[in-house]
Structure 1
Amino acid sequence: MNKNFMYGIGAVKYKDFVVGYIEPGSFDMGGVKPESTKINAEQVPGTPVLIIPQSNGGIAPTFNVIQLNYENLHKLLGGSLHYKKEDTEKKTPVGWTAPTSAVLMDGPWELSLVSGQSVLIPNGTLLSNLGGKLTLTETAKIECTLEVAMPADGSQPYGVFDTEAIPDEWKQYKLPAAEAAASVQAKSRKD
């Protein structure tokens, strides 16, 4: 792969959960521009005499999840899963109800890119809602925003690395491979 480019969202991962299918063209890194304060002087019209940096730029990825099985609704929006009465092992949900209070999904996230990099986010919070259109040409979707916050230990808010060469200090934020996470999800459904 050519490491001069970053492209293609392969998977969005949270802890042991791989987020379902994402709507084409909906994933946006949500780049936030750095902020500064410009100090002007009467003697120098039109050009600041001092620029004071206020904040670095950042990211706040947005994306739409279109794979709306009951498990994804539950994982991304909270609420409750419902099963047939005779399904005592709770293997296959037959419904979902919305939560009565706000759902907080925070912690480490990984954006696994097709181009061979991983964007690791030690402290991200997902904000999501059920949206979209119910037509014969579009599907309902979970509209998501991943807010990136400073980790409690004061380390960097995110990093971009070759997926196969994560530095040791960032390996704690590298989430299970998509295949491993999928098997964990399958196992948790059996429990």
Structure 2
Amino acid sequence: MDAIKTVITSIVPMSDDEYSLMLPVINRMNVKKDSDLLQQGDICRHIYFIESGFFRMFYVDYKGNEINCRFAKPNDFLVDFASFITQKTAHYHCRAMEDSKVIALEYSKVENLYHSSPNWSKFGRLIAESAYLTIIEREEMLHFQTPEERYKTILKKEPYLFQLVSQNQLSSYIGIKPESLSRLRKRMTGR
């Protein structure tokens, strides 16, 4: 439980009393590999904090292709934020890529927590801003960078992905076909 406290108080410093307001609302869960925390079309009713494991967030396009848009590792929060804040259907799946442990925070309890103190309210705002910036950075990467620039950006910002995900998963995330990723990798490594 210390990891979530460290992450939360690094975002917004708060007293032990303020932090303890969250303790009654948490739900710890074990998640098996290939299980979904959320499915496209459901309503996202929880924010998840990843204690251990690895997840991918993806959607299924009109052709039936799974398009990866985010990966989440320990100490990350995972949520379909638009679905969570509107309580409308989700556009994304959140799937465990390995056996994992998460802390789930339910929507109504999180809303109450945000109203419990100015620091929790500030935390909610900062998490929302962070989620928005993550989405914008990804969108701008896909719109304004070449595949080679995207590859380099991911290599710099998320190098662990090259060890943890398959070439198909990585190519989907970068926004290119697997064979294009293979050629790009060969060109960049000089082989």
| TM-score with structure 2 setting the length | 0.26
| TM-score with structure 1 setting the length | 0.26
Greater percentage in helix: 2
Greater percentage in strand: 1
- Structure index of larger Rg: 1
